[in-house]
Amino acid sequence: MSDNYKLTRWVLFGFIILILLLGYSLWDNATESTPRPQSLEEIEAYLAQNKDSLGAELLSSQAIDSSQIIDTRPQLILFIGDSMAQGLEIPLKKYAAFNGHQLNTIAKQSATIVSWVGSDSTGRLRQTLQELKPSYLIICLGANELMTNGLEVYEGYIRNIIKQSGNTKLIWVGPPNWRKDNGLTDLIAKELGAGRYFSSKDLTLPRAGDGIHPTYQGYFAWADTLTQWIREESQHKILLEKPQTPVKEIDSLNLKEAKRP
Protein backbone atom coordinates (compact mmCIF):
# COMPACT_ATOMS: atom_id res chain seq x y z
CA MET A 1 0.00 0.00 0.00
CA SER A 2 2.83 2.32 0.82
CA ASP A 3 4.60 1.60 -2.49
CA ASN A 4 1.40 2.26 -4.48
CA TYR A 5 0.94 5.55 -2.66
CA LYS A 6 4.46 6.66 -3.49
CA LEU A 7 4.04 5.70 -7.15
CA THR A 8 0.77 7.57 -7.39
CA ARG A 9 2.34 10.66 -5.83
CA TRP A 10 5.23 10.66 -8.32
CA VAL A 11 2.86 10.21 -11.25
CA LEU A 12 0.78 13.18 -10.09
CA PHE A 13 3.90 15.25 -9.54
CA GLY A 14 5.15 14.44 -13.05
CA PHE A 15 1.75 15.30 -14.52
CA ILE A 16 1.77 18.72 -12.79
CA ILE A 17 5.27 19.44 -14.15
CA LEU A 18 4.09 18.60 -17.69
CA ILE A 19 1.07 20.92 -17.32
CA LEU A 20 3.32 23.76 -16.11
CA LEU A 21 5.78 23.28 -18.99
CA LEU A 22 2.96 23.21 -21.53
CA GLY A 23 1.42 26.39 -20.09
CA TYR A 24 4.75 28.22 -20.17
CA SER A 25 5.33 27.17 -23.77
CA LEU A 26 1.91 28.46 -24.86
CA TRP A 27 2.44 31.77 -23.00
CA ASP A 28 5.91 32.25 -24.49
CA ASN A 29 4.65 31.64 -28.04
CA ALA A 30 1.80 34.08 -27.51
CA THR A 31 4.12 36.85 -26.36
CA GLU A 32 6.56 36.23 -29.22
CA SER A 33 3.74 36.48 -31.78
CA THR A 34 3.58 40.23 -31.22
CA PRO A 35 6.61 41.86 -32.89
CA ARG A 36 8.61 44.09 -30.58
CA PRO A 37 8.82 47.70 -31.76
CA GLN A 38 12.31 48.62 -32.93
CA SER A 39 12.41 52.14 -34.35
CA LEU A 40 11.66 55.34 -32.42
CA GLU A 41 8.34 55.92 -34.17
CA GLU A 42 7.28 52.27 -33.65
CA ILE A 43 7.95 52.57 -29.91
CA GLU A 44 6.03 55.85 -29.67
CA ALA A 45 3.08 54.41 -31.61
CA TYR A 46 3.06 51.23 -29.49
CA LEU A 47 3.03 53.16 -26.23
CA ALA A 48 0.29 55.50 -27.51
CA GLN A 49 -1.97 52.59 -28.52
CA ASN A 50 -1.30 50.44 -25.46
CA LYS A 51 -1.25 52.90 -22.58
CA ASP A 52 -3.02 50.51 -20.21
CA SER A 53 -1.41 47.26 -21.34
CA LEU A 54 1.17 45.32 -19.37
CA GLY A 55 3.44 45.27 -22.43
CA ALA A 56 3.42 49.05 -22.64
CA GLU A 57 4.21 49.33 -18.94
CA LEU A 58 7.11 46.92 -19.26
CA LEU A 59 8.42 48.70 -22.35
CA SER A 60 8.21 52.15 -20.77
CA SER A 61 9.80 50.91 -17.54
CA GLN A 62 12.89 49.71 -19.39
CA ALA A 63 15.71 52.21 -19.84
CA ILE A 64 15.36 52.75 -23.59
CA ASP A 65 18.44 54.57 -24.86
CA SER A 66 17.09 56.72 -27.69
CA SER A 67 20.64 57.51 -28.81
CA GLN A 68 20.89 53.92 -30.07
CA ILE A 69 17.80 54.20 -32.27
CA ILE A 70 17.91 55.61 -35.80
CA ASP A 71 15.12 58.11 -36.32
CA THR A 72 13.85 57.21 -39.80
CA ARG A 73 11.43 60.12 -40.04
CA PRO A 74 12.06 62.88 -42.62
CA GLN A 75 14.00 65.74 -41.07
CA LEU A 76 14.08 69.47 -41.73
CA ILE A 77 17.82 70.05 -41.39
CA LEU A 78 19.35 73.48 -40.86
CA PHE A 79 23.03 73.62 -41.81
CA ILE A 80 24.95 76.73 -40.78
CA GLY A 81 28.61 77.57 -41.19
CA ASP A 82 31.43 79.18 -43.14
CA SER A 83 32.90 78.50 -46.59
CA MET A 84 33.76 74.97 -45.45
CA ALA A 85 30.02 74.48 -45.05
CA GLN A 86 29.45 75.97 -48.52
CA GLY A 87 31.51 73.15 -50.00
CA LEU A 88 30.13 70.46 -47.71
CA GLU A 89 26.60 71.51 -48.61
CA ILE A 90 26.96 69.99 -52.10
CA PRO A 91 27.23 66.34 -51.01
CA LEU A 92 24.95 66.83 -47.99
CA LYS A 93 22.16 67.99 -50.31
CA LYS A 94 22.47 64.73 -52.21
CA TYR A 95 22.35 62.75 -48.97
CA ALA A 96 19.33 64.71 -47.74
CA ALA A 97 17.37 64.28 -50.97
CA PHE A 98 18.17 60.56 -51.19
CA ASN A 99 16.96 59.94 -47.62
CA GLY A 100 13.84 62.12 -47.79
CA HIS A 101 15.13 65.08 -45.78
CA GLN A 102 15.08 68.80 -46.55
CA LEU A 103 18.34 70.70 -46.13
CA ASN A 104 18.40 74.47 -45.61
CA THR A 105 21.86 76.04 -45.55
CA ILE A 106 23.00 79.37 -44.13
CA ALA A 107 26.71 79.50 -44.90
CA LYS A 108 28.88 82.53 -45.53
CA GLN A 109 32.53 82.98 -46.35
CA SER A 110 34.52 84.11 -43.28
CA ALA A 111 31.67 83.29 -40.88
CA THR A 112 32.84 82.67 -37.33
CA ILE A 113 31.63 81.29 -34.03
CA VAL A 114 31.48 84.86 -32.77
CA SER A 115 29.13 85.86 -35.59
CA TRP A 116 26.46 83.51 -34.17
CA VAL A 117 26.91 84.50 -30.51
CA GLY A 118 24.16 86.62 -29.01
CA SER A 119 21.68 87.01 -26.21
CA ASP A 120 20.21 83.76 -24.93
CA SER A 121 16.69 84.98 -25.69
CA THR A 122 17.23 87.02 -28.85
CA GLY A 123 20.44 85.64 -30.35
CA ARG A 124 20.77 85.19 -34.10
CA LEU A 125 20.72 81.40 -33.86
CA ARG A 126 17.67 81.30 -31.63
CA GLN A 127 15.78 83.68 -33.91
CA THR A 128 16.73 81.58 -36.95
CA LEU A 129 15.50 78.42 -35.24
CA GLN A 130 12.23 80.08 -34.31
CA GLU A 131 11.70 81.23 -37.90
CA LEU A 132 12.68 78.03 -39.74
CA LYS A 133 11.69 75.50 -37.05
CA PRO A 134 14.16 72.78 -38.09
CA SER A 135 14.07 69.36 -36.45
CA TYR A 136 17.83 68.92 -36.81
CA LEU A 137 20.72 71.40 -36.62
CA ILE A 138 24.23 70.92 -38.02
CA ILE A 139 26.87 73.57 -37.28
CA CYS A 140 30.15 73.80 -39.18
CA LEU A 141 32.12 76.66 -37.60
CA GLY A 142 35.59 77.16 -36.18
CA ALA A 143 37.86 77.15 -39.23
CA ASN A 144 38.30 80.93 -39.20
CA GLU A 145 39.22 80.93 -35.50
CA LEU A 146 41.36 77.80 -35.58
CA MET A 147 44.51 79.50 -34.27
CA THR A 148 42.89 81.48 -31.46
CA ASN A 149 44.54 81.48 -28.05
CA GLY A 150 41.53 82.95 -26.27
CA LEU A 151 40.08 79.61 -25.21
CA GLU A 152 38.51 80.93 -22.02
CA VAL A 153 36.55 83.49 -24.03
CA TYR A 154 35.54 80.93 -26.66
CA GLU A 155 34.32 78.58 -23.96
CA GLY A 156 31.61 81.15 -23.22
CA TYR A 157 30.88 81.67 -26.92
CA ILE A 158 30.38 77.96 -27.55
CA ARG A 159 28.16 77.57 -24.49
CA ASN A 160 26.10 80.52 -25.70
CA ILE A 161 25.48 78.87 -29.07
CA ILE A 162 24.58 75.56 -27.43
CA LYS A 163 22.15 77.36 -25.13
CA GLN A 164 20.56 79.18 -28.07
CA SER A 165 19.98 75.84 -29.82
CA GLY A 166 17.58 74.87 -27.04
CA ASN A 167 15.98 71.47 -27.53
CA THR A 168 16.84 71.24 -31.22
CA LYS A 169 18.94 68.16 -31.99
CA LEU A 170 22.45 69.52 -32.53
CA ILE A 171 25.54 68.15 -34.27
CA TRP A 172 28.71 70.25 -34.56
CA VAL A 173 31.14 69.43 -37.37
CA GLY A 174 34.67 70.44 -36.48
CA PRO A 175 36.95 72.03 -39.11
CA PRO A 176 39.25 69.82 -41.19
CA ASN A 177 42.52 71.16 -39.82
CA TRP A 178 45.22 72.04 -42.33
CA ARG A 179 47.56 72.70 -39.39
CA LYS A 180 47.53 71.99 -35.67
CA ASP A 181 45.22 74.31 -33.73
CA ASN A 182 45.79 75.71 -30.25
CA GLY A 183 43.06 73.70 -28.57
CA LEU A 184 39.87 75.14 -30.08
CA THR A 185 38.66 71.84 -31.57
CA ASP A 186 39.19 69.99 -28.28
CA LEU A 187 37.30 72.75 -26.48
CA ILE A 188 34.30 72.47 -28.81
CA ALA A 189 34.34 68.69 -28.40
CA LYS A 190 34.37 69.02 -24.60
CA GLU A 191 31.46 71.49 -24.53
CA LEU A 192 29.30 69.46 -26.94
CA GLY A 193 29.98 66.15 -25.23
CA ALA A 194 30.13 62.65 -26.65
CA GLY A 195 27.96 61.98 -29.65
CA ARG A 196 27.34 65.59 -30.66
CA TYR A 197 30.75 66.64 -31.99
CA PHE A 198 32.27 65.21 -35.17
CA SER A 199 36.03 65.70 -35.21
CA SER A 200 37.38 66.36 -38.70
CA LYS A 201 40.88 67.49 -37.71
CA ASP A 202 42.56 64.15 -38.38
CA LEU A 203 40.84 63.41 -41.68
CA THR A 204 43.10 63.04 -44.70
CA LEU A 205 41.35 65.04 -47.42
CA PRO A 206 42.65 66.22 -50.80
CA ARG A 207 43.04 70.01 -50.66
CA ALA A 208 42.44 72.71 -53.24
CA GLY A 209 45.13 75.12 -54.42
CA ASP A 210 44.99 77.22 -51.24
CA GLY A 211 45.97 74.18 -49.17
CA ILE A 212 43.04 74.85 -46.85
CA HIS A 213 39.74 73.96 -48.50
CA PRO A 214 39.08 70.38 -49.61
CA THR A 215 38.72 69.66 -53.32
CA TYR A 216 35.36 68.69 -54.76
CA GLN A 217 36.19 65.02 -54.19
CA GLY A 218 37.46 65.93 -50.74
CA TYR A 219 34.10 67.39 -49.73
CA PHE A 220 32.37 64.16 -50.79
CA ALA A 221 34.86 62.07 -48.81
CA TRP A 222 34.26 64.33 -45.79
CA ALA A 223 30.48 63.98 -46.16
CA ASP A 224 30.72 60.19 -46.45
CA THR A 225 32.60 59.97 -43.16
CA LEU A 226 30.34 62.50 -41.42
CA THR A 227 27.04 60.90 -42.44
CA GLN A 228 28.23 57.43 -41.46
CA TRP A 229 29.14 58.77 -38.02
CA ILE A 230 25.75 60.48 -37.67
CA ARG A 231 23.74 57.36 -38.45
CA GLU A 232 25.96 54.92 -36.53
CA GLU A 233 27.69 56.72 -33.65
CA SER A 234 26.13 60.11 -32.96
CA GLN A 235 23.74 60.93 -30.16
CA HIS A 236 21.11 61.97 -32.72
CA LYS A 237 20.99 59.20 -35.32
CA ILE A 238 18.96 59.87 -38.45
CA LEU A 239 18.60 58.06 -41.75
CA LEU A 240 21.55 59.08 -43.95
CA GLU A 241 22.28 56.21 -46.28
CA LYS A 242 24.77 56.89 -49.06
CA PRO A 243 23.10 57.86 -52.36
CA GLN A 244 23.24 55.00 -54.86
CA THR A 245 23.43 57.16 -57.97
CA PRO A 246 27.02 57.82 -59.06
CA VAL A 247 28.36 61.31 -58.59
CA LYS A 248 29.10 62.98 -61.92
CA GLU A 249 32.28 64.91 -62.35
CA ILE A 250 31.76 68.64 -62.68
CA ASP A 251 34.07 70.47 -65.08
CA SER A 252 33.39 73.91 -63.71
CA LEU A 253 32.95 74.00 -59.95
CA ASN A 254 31.17 76.91 -58.36
CA LEU A 255 33.46 76.78 -55.35
CA LYS A 256 35.46 79.96 -54.85
CA GLU A 257 38.78 79.52 -53.18
CA ALA A 258 39.15 82.17 -50.54
CA LYS A 259 42.06 83.40 -48.53
CA ARG A 260 40.02 82.59 -45.46
CA PRO A 261 37.59 79.65 -45.08
pLDDT one-digit tens code per residue, 88-146: 999 999 999 999 999 999 999 999 999 999 876 678 999 999 999 999 999 999 999 99
Q: Quick one: average pLDDT of 183-212? A: 96
Q: With 90 as the cut, is the pLDDT of residue 38 above it?
A: no
Q: With 70 as the cut, is the pLDDT of residue 15 above it?
A: no
Q: Quick one: average pLDDT of 198-203? A: 96
Q: With 90 as the cut, is the pLDDT of residue 55 above it?
A: no
Q: How confident is the model at residue 3 (pLDDT cuts 50, 70, 90)?
A: low
pLDDT of amino acid 33: 47
Give dist(CA 133, CA 52) in Å, integer.
Answer: 34
DSSP-derived secondary structure for 87-133: HHHHHHHHHHHHTT-EEEEEE-TT--SGGG---TTT-HHHHHHHHH-
Q: Compute the mean pLDDT over every residue in the chain, rounded to the nearest whole number.
A: 83
41 versus 248: the higher-pLDDT residue is: 41
pLDDT of amino acid 203: 96
9 versus 81: the higher-pLDDT residue is: 81
pLDDT of amino acid 258: 38
Q: Quick one: average pLDDT of 249-253? A: 38
Q: How confident is the model at residue 244 (pLDDT cuts 50, 70, 90)?
A: confident
Q: Quick one: average pLDDT of 13-25? A: 64
Worst-scoring range by mean pLDDT, 40-44, 52-56, 121-125, 186-190? 52-56
> In order of start, what are the domains of the chain with their CATH numbers?
72-232 (3.40.50.1110)
pTM tops 0.85: no
- Percent of the chain's residues with pLDDT above 70: 67
